[in-house]
Amino acid sequence: MKHQLPLELAQSLALSKDVSQLQFHQLLQNISDDPQLKQFAPDGICQIDPRNGNLVIYNSARAKRVHTTTKPSHHQNDTQCPICEGKSADILDIAEHSEGFTFINKNLYPIFHPIQDIPQEEADYFLHQDPEHQGRASYGFHLLQWTSSLHDKDWQNLPYADALISFERLAILEKSLLCQPTDFMARSETQLNQEVVSGYVSIIKNYGASAGASLVHGHQQIAYSNILPQHFFNNLRFRKRHNKSFSQYMIEENPPELLIKDYGEWQLLVPYFMKRPLDMLLILKDADKRYLHQLNQDEQQQVVLGLQQAIQAILALMEQMNILPAYNMIINNGPGCGLYVEFLPKTQMMGGYEQIGLFVCQDNAAHSAERLREYINAAD
């Protein structure tokens, strides 16, 4: 019998089966009142490193996590997956696959949580001041999307049509959060077709213990917050400085020999400033689009194919390099962005020089692009 979360059990945990049909005030009330989330609620403070703008949010209770306090292992016991056993917070969205399903739930150990007194904040991130170093209030939601209810399925081995469903649900969640009609969240700098955008949605994936994944069961983390991460702020600053998005710049300036594959509306490439072997960017050519939910059908289909092929290549080539496969995936969206996905394989350790911003890379971009291109072309 396959290790998985049964659909009937998931449905019994569901606050909603379609997050787009869930009223935002209901979701806000549910998350605010959840006693399990309150037990692990964050401190609600964000500080900024004045040297480089790095943001630090504090959650003292997060140290109590089972996966923090137990001894780490490269090979976790798959027979004791809490997700497959239904030890999950309320489920907000369920979409069936050809086998199994994808679902979205609340994170029991949130990095963001609602607060009682919402601060009056400027939408323009450049106007924030903190002369007394008290820190900014940080608040919002922290959600999880499980790519599949089947324990051994993730982007790299899901049938393409099922992976597309998982991606579509992620895009729908993004819109449901950003375009909600309440005053819970400060406005973002962007507007979409006269529609107000509130807050910021950050989507990341950790795969493998060395990349920070505390659970083997494949998932994405979704943070909805008043805090714009520094990496995303850099995208905004780049646009203001160059009068174009970083994604447009890369399409125009990255050397052609570093292109891995052109999907039509998207390009998969190795950046000329590659910090680690196998680093990749999957970039949407239409730099005016900044969010997943703005993608049309062709763009959605192509990004899912690119995402699957990039991850398949990372896992296979890292095994060839005798490195335990692990990577981070970052979906770059929001103000200043042209939409792009960043793949950061853990092909080298971080050392002291890297901590001061001097990355020593054990390969060059051209060779890395050639290896990735050969693998993906052979797999087509």
- Give pLDDT tens digits along the chain (380 positions): 468 999 999 999 999 999 999 999 999 999 999 998 988 999 988 888 888 888 898 988 877 665 544 444 444 455 689 999 998 889 999 999 999 999 999 999 999 999 988 877 765 555 566 778 878 889 999 999 999 999 999 999 999 999 999 999 999 999 999 998 888 887 776 666 666 788 999 999 999 999 999 899 999 999 999 988 889 989 988 998 999 999 999 999 999 999 999 999 999 999 999 999 999 999 999 999 999 999 999 999 999 999 999 999 999 999 999 999 999 999 999 888 899 999 999 999 999 999 998 999 999 999 999 999 999 999 88
25 Cα distance to chain centroid: 24
- Distance in angstroms (rounded) separating the CA atoms of residues 222 and 225: 10
Nearby residues of 188 by Cβ (< 8 Å), 6 or more positions away? 123, 178, 197, 198, 199, 200, 334, 335
Cα 345 off chain centre by: 15
Domains (range + CATH), the chain? 1-228 (3.30.428.10), 242-380 (3.30.428.10)
Residue 17 structure tokens = 């089966």
CA dist 318 and 325 (Å) reads 6
Rounded to whole angstroms, what are the CA distances from 109 to 34, 95, 143, 333, 368? 12, 24, 10, 24, 37
The sheet with strand 45-48 has its strands ordered as: 55-57, 45-48, 136-137
Instruction: Quote the pTM value.
Output: 0.93
Phi, psi of 59 (to 5 degrees): -145, 90
> Which residue in this structure is represented by tokens 């450049």?
126
Query: How far is residue 35 CA from its own chain's centroid?
Result: 26
Phi, psi of 327 (to 5 degrees): -160, 160
What are 211's two structure tokens?
Answer: 């990349």
CA distance 376 to 370: 10
Q: What is the pLDDT of residue 192?
A: 62
Q: Which two tokens stand for residue 101?
A: 């399903």
Quote the CA–CA distance of 105 and 93 in Å, as a whole number: 7
